[in-house]
Amino acid sequence: MKIRNRNNTLLLIILTIIGITNVTNAQQKATSENALSPKEQSIISISAFTAKSDLEELKTTLNTGLENGLTVNEIKEVLIHSYAYCGFPRSIRGLQTFMEVLDERKAKGINDKIGNDASKIDETNEKYERGKKILEELIQMPQSDTLKGYSAFAPTMDTFLKEHLFADIFERDVLNYQQRELVTISVIATIGDAEPMLRSHLTICLNVGLTSEQLQQFVGVLKSTIGKKEAKSAQKVLDEVLKTYKSN
């Protein structure tokens, strides 16, 4: 009888250990699936230091990005995309810094993966309509033909946004929408004083499949790279967005 009881106790312990292990593995898997990849974290850092024009830190981050698996063309695309939100001067300085990094790595015998070039864009439809369609896909809302707000005040700006930002840039395929939005929110959060735009693009991040956990991690990466002030401002806007998004 005692032997049977011991066996039952041992079996219960084994089953408990197996159960705990399975739960732990499931939690780790869920955490992993909701975490930003090393490549995505590098995209955030590269974009932020480009916007800040901190070229020494950018150099380090570019090296890390390559080590984390970003291709040369993916990093080029990050730097190209960033110009739409922080301007040509900082984007071009970022590209020049990247050229220096590649030359230094090549001198050390490091051959980095070039990656895919951007595919040719189908220009069958008018650029304005293509851009409008992409914007609707991102914000998950139809665009009225009647311009409002700043678009009505300056229709040329509306044309530039639809035709250039959303058609010329977002339509390129080297980066997907999630990656492009990580670039966008990293730049906007770094330059500061653009809360309405940051709010809009954090909402788009959720629309294109980034999770609330990943966006919380984005703030953490921002804090460790750019600083507490920028991270605190981004966190405040993110909290507002998550509260509104969940209630809709």
Task: Give the number of other Cβ atoms within 10 Å of residue 220's Cβ.
Answer: 15
Task: Look at 25-29, 54-58, 174-178, 201-205 and tell me which has the smallest mean pLDDT.
Answer: 25-29
Tokens of 127: 């650029």
| Cβ 70 vs Cβ 101: under 8 Å | no
Does residue 27 surpass a pLDDT of 70?
Answer: no
For each of the domains in the chain, give its residue range(s) and CATH number, in order of start.
38-116+174-247 (1.20.1290.10)
Determine the average pLDDT of the residues in 168-196: 97
Q: What is the pLDDT of residue 28?
A: 43
